[in-house]
Structure 1
Amino acid sequence: MASGFFALLDDISALVKVSAASLDDVPAQVAKTTGKVSGIVIDDTAVTPKYVVGLDPSRELSIIFQIAKKSLINKLLILSPAALLLGYFAPWAITPILMMGGAYLCFEGYEKVHSMFSKHPEAPAESEALATITPEELEQQRVAGAVRTDIILSAEIMAIAYSQVTGQPIVNQIMVMLAVAVVITVGVYGFVGLIVKMDDIGMHLAQENKNPATQKVGRGIVKFMPHFLRILSYVGTAAMLWVGAEIIAHGIPLTAHWLHELELALADVPVLAWLAKALACAIFGLAVGFVVEKVVGLGKKLWPGKSKAQAA
């Protein structure tokens, strides 16, 4: 009887050790997964500051917090469980869903590139609508728009996160998914909050009661921020095309083989291999985005009533 009891304790001890060793891998898995979604994270960071442009500066951090809170809730309570359940009951659907998300990223990236080379004057009706809306209503609209964009990017992040832990113990999967959700959300919106307040920080440092060196730094920050936001926007667009195209390419055996062959051909020069792969993905992403844009345009022509109703 006693020997059986101690044998049971040994089994429990062994199980605890195995579980602990498995959980030790969680930080490494989180770091790896975060690296995989870096392109989407960059784009999310680049896109979000535009939602506070033109609003009361004293409300900027509050708006960012509202978006971040809803983003975290979506990741923790909707997207992570959905990915885990889908992975358990229909694992075959993960790759197609990732590819659909990749196509959306390519479409968004193409739209941004297209807008860089064409001018779209603001419609008079839109100007009148903005003139009659209250600041509170405008803030609510901005938050809702930001959350809609974020949920698509967040869905892609969580799907990629799950794809990195398939085959792992369920506890690891859950912990990695939850950790990625928290780390990504805090990292993205913490940095976004810093970005939108950098002008205020610069103005504070440039005050006359500061020493000349501090004033110079403050003025430099104020002058640099518009250029930084423009660069961040370009980087975010490139990241959308690159990440979206790579997701699609890895879902198609032929293109996945081509990418692998390209990396092998330039393996002796890692930087060149990375640049070649990124450029190839960006070009492929533009092509995919162009096709998706034409399909969307055709859909609007075939169902104009539905498109107008959605726009309203």
Structure 2
Amino acid sequence: MAGSSFFALLDDIAALLDDISLMSKVAAKKSASVLSDDLAVNAEQVTGMKADRELPVVWAVFKGSLKNKAILVPCALILSAVLPAAVKWLLMAGGLYLCYEGYEAIKDKFSRKGHGSAEQGKKAVPKTAEELAQYEKRKIKGAIKTDFILSAEIIVITLNVVADAPLYQQILTLTLIAVVMTIGVYGLVAGIVRLDDAGFALAKSKAQGVWGRALRASGELLFSAAPFLMKALSWIGTVAMFLVGGTFVAEGIAPLEHAVEALVAAIGGWSAAVKLVAFGVVGALAGWLTALVVSGVSKVRRRVAR
């Protein structure tokens, strides 16, 4: 009897692991677009760091991301059980925040190209050790804030996948997705920010023959491309804020979501691309409107303070 009970327990454990694995795969597929945005945004956040501080910054944001998910997983489970409608409103608020951050980033990028931008840019560059430390803290804080919003969408997507599963399976799947996604995203971010070092090492390879020449050529190409890749990621990360934020906002407002769906249906082909552009436009407009509201509130507060 004891032996049969033991094997029955093993069967139950195997079935549980199969269920969790299947649900995790589905959740990972559904959140793939968010992961690409998460990767681009977080790689953009660590640009501008000194080379010897890039990995420590990524590590600090990685730890912050784990803390975010440690907060989000139980909160998502509680909200889903007690007040499921609140999840949608929280996601919309997070989407507006991302849109606002994207708008401010775009405004900052273009303002530096305007009149007097050279002087402003010089003043904005941190020079002393204290200024560099403060700049690094701001970058880490901003990256962790942004990660919180993107992590929230990943958790909610996963929660929707496991909504009909028993509570213990929900907890295990959410925990697995949270840990694996965090390690995957920040592992890739760490690799991206050190591409120039990898290219430099390959370019200095002492290997002989065709293989050696190929290694050195690849290294030189990688080393030359790294700065352009980081600049591209800076823009991709900003655009990703509009795309993700616009998706949150549009999906939270039924008439707006229906309008996007009607536009996609009317155009026909390239439905995925059209929907993406539509969500991006929604995100840009939401960011602009949020910035107007924030600016107006700030002016009122300044007048009251006088």
TM-score, length-normalised on structure 2? 0.80
For structure 1, the 5+ residue unaligned runs are: 308-312
Query: What is the rounded CA distance, in whole Å, between the counterparts of 1:238 and 1:198 in structure 2?
Result: 22
Q: Check conservation: 1:206, 1:214, Cα contact below 8 A.
A: yes
Matches within 5 A, 1:177-216: 177-207=174-204, 209-210=206-207, 211-216=212-217
- 1:105: how far off? 2.0
Deviation readout 1:245-302 (Å, 9 max, x if unpaired): 22222222222323333444566x4xx1111111111112111111111111111111
Residue number among 275, 284, 289 corresponding to 1:291 in the alignment: 289
Q: Check conservation: 1:109, 1:289, Cα contact below 8 A.
A: yes
Report the equivalent of 1:274. 272
Query: What is the rounded CA distance, in whole Å, between the counterparts of 1:281 and 1:158 in structure 2?
Result: 21
- 1:65: how far off? 1.9
Instruction: Give the 3 Å change call, closer, same or farther, for CA 31–74 of structure 1 in structure 2.
Output: same
Residue number among 58, 61, 83 corresponding to 1:90 in the alignment: 83
Residue number among 85, 89, 106 corresponding to 1:113 in the alignment: 106
Residue number among 111, 125, 149 corresponding to 1:152 in the alignment: 149
Query: What is the rounded CA distance, in whole Å, between the counterparts of 1:48 and 1:304 in structure 2?
Result: 33
Q: Check conservation: 1:104, 1:244, Cα contact below 8 A.
A: yes
* 1:100 pairs with 2:101: no
Instruction: Give the 3 Å change call, closer, same or farther, for CA 109–135 of structure 1 in structure 2.
Output: closer
**Number of residue equivalences:** 294
TM-score, length-normalised on structure 1? 0.79
Instruction: Give the 3 Å change call, closer, same or farther, for CA 258–154 of structure 1 in structure 2.
Output: same
* 1:237 pairs with 2:231: no
Moved more, 200-209 or 286-295: 200-209
Helix, strand or coil for the counterpart of 1:303?
A: helix
Report the equivalent of 2:262. 261
Instruction: Give the 3 Å change call, closer, same or farther, for CA 30–113 of structure 1 in structure 2.
Output: farther
Instruction: Give the 3 Å change call, closer, same or farther, for CA 172–126 of structure 1 in structure 2.
Output: farther
- 1:163: how far off? 3.5
Q: Check conservation: 2:41, 2:234, Cα contact below 8 A.
A: yes
Q: Check conservation: 1:43, 1:236, Cα contact below 8 A.
A: yes
Moved more, 144-153 or 94-103: 144-153
Q: Check conservation: 2:91, 2:152, Cα contact below 8 A.
A: no
Instruction: Give the 3 Å change call, closer, same or farther, for CA 233–57 of structure 1 in structure 2.
Output: closer
Query: What is the rounded CA distance, in whole Å, between the counterparts of 2:125 and 2:235 in structure 1?
Result: 30
Report the equivalent of 1:67. 61
For structure 2, the 5+ residue unaligned runs are: none
Instruction: Give the 3 Å change call, closer, same or farther, for CA 274–51 of structure 1 in structure 2.
Output: closer
Task: Please tell me the residue identity of whatever aligns with 2:235.
Answer: Y
Instruction: Give the 3 Å change call, closer, same or farther, for CA 136–248 of structure 1 in structure 2.
Output: closer
Query: What is the rounded CA distance, in whole Å, between the counterparts of 1:145 and 1:253 in structure 2?
Result: 30
Query: What is the rounded CA distance, in whole Å, between the counterparts of 1:160 and 1:246 in structure 2?
Result: 13
Deviation readout 1:79-115 (Å, 9 max, x if unpaired): 1111111111111211111111122222223333334
Task: Please tell me the residue identity of whatever aligns with 2:82.
Answer: F
Query: What is the rounded CA distance, in whole Å, between the counterparts of 1:230 and 1:259 in structure 2?
Result: 31
Q: Check conservation: 1:39, 1:242, Cα contact below 8 A.
A: no
Q: Check conservation: 2:61, 2:143, Cα contact below 8 A.
A: yes
Task: Please tell me the residue identity of whatever aligns with 2:275.
Answer: K
Identity %: 34
Query: What is the rounded CA distance, in whole Å, between the counterparts of 1:306 and 1:42 in structure 2?
Result: 43
* 1:34 pairs with 2:28: yes
Query: What is the rounded CA distance, in whole Å, between the counterparts of 2:125 and 2:233 in structure 1?
Result: 31
Helix, strand or coil for the counterpart of 1:133?
A: helix
Task: Please tell me the residue identity of whatever aligns with 2:278.
Answer: A
Instruction: Give the 3 Å change call, closer, same or farther, for CA 305–31 of structure 1 in structure 2.
Output: farther
